[in-house]
Amino acid sequence: MLTINGPKSQNCQGVTRRELLRAGGLGVLGLTLPGLLQGRASAAAADEPRPRTFGRAKSCLVIFLSGGMSHHDTFDMKPNAPEEIRGEFSPIQTSVPGIQVCEHLPMLADRANKYAIVRSLSHRDTNHPSGCYWMMTGHEYPRASGLSENLSRDDHPHIGAALTAIGNRRDRAVPAFVTVPDYIAVNGPIRAGQHAGFLGGRYDPLVPRGNPNSDEFAPADLGLVPTVGTQRMQDRQSLLAAVSQQQRHLGQIGEGRTLDQFYQRAYSVLSSGHTQRAFDMSAEPDRVRDLYGRNLFGQSILLGRRLIEAGVQLVHVNWIRILEAGWDTHSDNFNALKNQLLPPTDQAVSALLDDMESRGLLDDTLVIVMGEFGRSPQVTKSNAGREHWPFVFTILLAGAGIPTGRVIGSSDRIGAYVRDGRITPNQFAATIYHALGVDPASQVTTAIDRPWQICDAAPALELWG
C-alpha cells in the first residue's frame, strides 16, 4: 500500500468576541462599524505600463470552505490511481470536453464553462488557523503556529482590510469589506488573519453575524434592529461629537482626525438605503432564495451577491461549522462529502454563477472558491478519512476576465504535489490585488504610523491565459 506522510493538524483556542471588540477600539460605545471608515492610506505609484487585466474587477467575492476541501474527491480526481488514492467517487464529464469533476457535483459539471479550475495552489502549512491566515492575508504566519488560534492586532491584515486601507472602493456609502455570516471560530476562538490586524480596527470587516436563512436575521447596528432607530443613531452622533471634541482638546487625536468625522462617515453607511436593502433578505424573491438553497451556506452566498451588488468591494463568505466538522474530513470523508458538503456547495455556487451572469456582475467581479488547503492522497483505512494536505490543492475562479472552461496548473499522478504551474498564497494575494487595480507593492500606514507594503509577490498573470 502506498503511504504518504504529512504533519499532524492542530486544534484552535483563542480570544472571546468581547475581547475582539475591545481590541477593535470603540466597541464599548456600541459602534464598531466606523472602524471600517477611519484612517488614511497611500498607494505606491507604478511607472511601468499595466497588463490589460489590471483593474478589470471592481469587486471580489470569496467563498471560503473552512476545513480544507478534498481535491481528489471534487475537481482533481485521480480515477487511474490505486484505490487507496482515488477513493469511492467516480468522475463525470462536464460541459467542457476533457474536463471531469466529481459525480456529486452535477450542477457545477453543467457549468464548467463558467469557471476555471486551478489545480496547483501550494504552501507548506498543515495547521488550520495558520493555513487560513496564509490564504486570507497572503502572508505566512510569522510566529509559532499555535498562536494563530488567536486573533491579534499583531496579525497581518486580511486582503479585504488592506484594500479598505488603500481606499479605492467604488461606493463610500457602503462598507468596503464584509465577512458573512461570521468569523471562523472553531471551538470558540476567532482565528487569526480575519480582520485588519496591525492596520487597526478602523479597517476591520463588517461582520453581521446571525443566520441569513432565518426569518429573524437582522444584523446589529444596521438600521434593521428596532432598538437602533434613527433617533438613537442621532443621539450617538451627538455623544461622539462631544467625545471627539474632548479628545482633541486633550491632544489625544490630531487635527483633521476627529472621531466625529469618522463617525459621520459611519452614520452615512448605517443610514444608507444601499446597506439596509443589501442585508434585508426578505426583499429577495422566494424563487431566487430557493435556487441558492434554504440553508446557512446557500443564503450566506446569496447575501454575498446582494452585498456585491450594493457596492461592497470585497465580501468574504465563510462555510461556518456548527455541529459538524465541515470540510475537515479526517473521518467518514465520503459520506460527509456526499450527504453534507457537496450538495449545498454544488447548488449555491451554481446559483451564484447563473445569478451574477444574468445580472451582469461577473464581468467586473472576481469570484473565488477556496479553503486553507486540500486533503491527503492517502485515504485512512481505519476511518475512511483524508488528512490535511497543503502541498497541492484546488481552487475555482470565475469572473473579472478570467478565461473559463479550462484547467490551470496540475498535480502529479496521485495528487500529492504540484506538477506544473505552482501558485503560492502570496502570489494569489497579489493576483487579487492586481485584478482589483491595486499594485501589490502599494504601501499603507499601520496603526502606529509606519509604512507597510501590502504584498511581497508578483501576480500570477497566467490565470488570465
| φ, ψ at 357 (rounded to 5°) | -65, -45
Q: Cell 452614520: give the residue.
A: 267
The tens digit of pLDDT for each residue in 186-196 reads: 877 899 999 99
CA gap 423, 407 in Å, rounded: 14
Instruction: Rounding to the nearest 10 degrees, give the CA dihedral for residues 244, 250, 251, 257.
Output: 10
Query: Which residues have CB under 8 Å from 358's CB, separation 6+?
Result: none
Task: Provide the pLDDT for residue 254.
Answer: 39
Residue 221 has pLDDT above 70, yes or no: no
Q: What share of the chain is helix, strand, coil (3-state, %, to 5)?
A: 35, 15, 50
Q: What is the mean pLDDT of residues 226-246?
A: 51
Asked if pLDDT for residue 309 goes beyond 90, the answer is yes
| Overall pTM surpassing 0.85 (yes/no) | no
Q: In which residue are the cell numbers 505552482 written? A: 422
- Of 209-223, 257-271, 361-375, the range with the lowest mean pLDDT is 257-271
Distance of CA 167 to the CA centre of its chain: 19
Distance in angstroms (rounded) separating the CA atoms of residues 454 and 315: 19
Q: What is the pLDDT of residue 103?
A: 98
Tell me the average pLDDT across 276-280. 88
pLDDT of residue 241: 56
Does residue 67 surpass a pLDDT of 50? yes
Instruction: Find where cell 464548467 sits.
Output: 112
Contacts of 67 (CB under 8 A, 6+ apart): 128, 319, 321, 325, 326, 327, 328, 329, 371, 372
pLDDT the model gives residue 113: 98
pLDDT tens profile 108-140:
999 999 999 999 999 999 999 999 999 999 999
Specify the amino acid at residue 222: L
Sign, Cα dihedral of 45, 51, 52, 55: negative
Three cell numbers, residue 339: 450527504
Mean pLDDT lowest among 172-181, 234-243, 336-345, 438-447: 234-243
Supply the angle between the helices 128-137 and 425-435 in degrees, to the nearest 10: 30
The better pLDDT of the pair 376, 222 is held by 376
Q: Quick one: pLDDT band at residue 146, thresholds 50, 70, 90?
A: confident
CA distance 303 to 362: 16
Taking the alpha carbons at both ends of the chain, their separation in whole angstroms is 39
CA distances from 160 to 108, 177, 250, 365 (A): 27, 6, 33, 14
Contacts of 166 (CB under 8 A, 6+ apart): 41, 43, 438, 442, 444, 454
pLDDT digits (tens, 9 = 90+) for 319-337: 998 655 689 999 999 999 9
Q: Residue 458 in 3-state DSSP?
A: coil
Could you give the count of Cα atoms lying within 13 Å of 75 in the half-sphere of its Cβ?
29
Residue 459 binned pLDDT confidence (cut-offs 50, 70, 90): very high
- 68-94 pLDDT, tens digit each: 999 999 999 999 999 999 999 999 999
**Widest CA span of the chain, in angstroms?**
74
459 and 159 Cβ atoms separated by less than 8 Å: no
pLDDT at position 228 over 90: no
pLDDT at 186: 84
Helix (H, G, I), strand (E, B) or coil at 453: strand
* Band (29; pLDDT cuts 50, 70, 90): very low
Distance CA 303, CA 22 (A): 27
Q: Is pLDDT above 50 for 250?
A: no
**pLDDT: which is higher, 178 or 275:** 178
Residue-level pLDDT at 145: 83
Provide the H-helix boundaries in 286-439.
286-292, 296-310, 333-336, 342-358, 425-435
DSSP-assigned beta bridge partners for residue 388: 375
For position 25, what pLDDT does the model report? 35
pLDDT band at residue 174, thresholds of 50, 70 and 90? confident
Please state, rounded to an integer, the average pLDDT across all residues of the chain.
83
Mean pLDDT value across residues 265-279: 67
**Angstrom distance (rounded) from CA 402 to CA 392:** 21
Q: How far is CA 263 from CA 24, 91, 171, in A?
A: 15, 53, 17
For position 170, what pLDDT does the model report?
A: 54
User: DSSP assignment, residue 148?
Assistant: G
Look at residue 195 in the predicted model and tell me its pLDDT: 96
Residue 450 has a CB neighbour count (10 Å cut-off) of: 10
pLDDT at 153 over 90: yes
**One-letter amino acid identity for 258?**
T
Give the model confidence (pLDDT) of 381-424 as tens digits: 999 999 999 999 999 999 999 999 999 999 999 999 999 999 99
Q: How much is the average pLDDT of 20-24?
A: 35
